[in-house]
Amino acid sequence: MQLAAGYLELLSVAEVVLRNALNEQLRDWCRDRSGTDVWLTSDDPLPFPLDKLFTSVREGAMARATDAKTVRDTTPTHDRCGVPLTEGDVLSQVTFGQWHNLFPYTQGQATDPTTNSYRAQMWSEALRDVFPAGVNPDDVRWLLYRLTYFRNRVAHHECIISAPLPPNRRHPLRSRLRDIFTLLRWLDPDVHEWTTGSNRVTALLAAGASVR
């Protein structure tokens, strides 16, 4: 329980930092192409090729945000009763597992060349500026993919421990911790420094946590 809770704390930070960084960059990219940075709550089509990758994601996030607003608006005591939807309302409804599909990749599984070309264009025109120079989009995609799978195991209360944890830096639990810290180091060095100094997971792993 402690180990899962500790990882969930770190994953929540990583998810918020990631979506905020991508949102800021995509707002700028949309402004340059459509004249407006209101890209999540707008009824206008997304600029090409983001429309090919994110239209259905935006529609789903908007639907969930609208449902949440309906609940708020039927609760007179709610602090945000009657408040219009914001970009943040919709952004928070884009799930962690939907972001990795924006990044091009060449390894790990067969790719659709056309869709992957859209991802490559988005990387070249926008998303690479979120990360330090030299970061490979393939590495970003698969790191996010691994963290999504792990996050879902933790969030759905699946068992992540069983046999004694070997003192091995390549152990899956240690690897996921490095993935989180790598992502934060890429996105925000200040948050990375704060998180590495305040996380509970390192001590728990050192104390002999175990993994299936």
Is the pLDDT higher at 131 or at 160? 131
Residue 24 has pLDDT above 60, yes or no: yes
Q: Mind listing the pLDDT tens digit for each residue in 85-111? A: 999 999 999 999 999 999 998 875 567
Q: Mind listing the pLDDT tens digit for each residue in 170-185? A: 678 889 999 999 999 9
Which pLDDT belongs to residue 164?
60
Residue 202 has pLDDT above 70, yes or no: yes
| H-type alpha helices, 74-136 | 87-91, 113-125
Model confidence at 123, in pLDDT bands (50, 70, 90)?
Answer: very high
- Locate 133 and state its tokens: 């120079």
Residue 166 has pLDDT above 70, yes or no: no
What's the whole-number mean pLDDT along residues 27-44? Answer: 94
Q: Mind listing the pLDDT tens digit for each residue in 133-159? A: 999 999 999 999 999 999 999 999 888
What's the whole-number mean pLDDT along residues 114-119? Answer: 94
Please report, rounded to a whole number, the percentage of residues in the chain having pLDDT higher than 70. Answer: 92
Q: Detail the DSSP E strand segments found in 43-147.
A: none
Which pLDDT belongs to residue 206?
82
Residue 35 gets the label, from left (phi > 0), alpha (psi -120 to 50) or beta, of left
> C-alpha dihedral over 58, 61, 65, 68, to 10 degrees?
160
Residue 198 has pLDDT above 60, yes or no: yes
Q: Mind listing the pLDDT tens digit for each residue in 56-83? A: 999 999 999 999 999 999 999 999 999 9
Which pLDDT belongs to residue 11?
97
What's the whole-number mean pLDDT along residues 32-61? Answer: 95
Residue 210 has pLDDT above 90, yes or no: no
> C-alpha dihedral over 59, 124, 148, 38, to 10 degrees?
-30
pTM of the model: 0.91
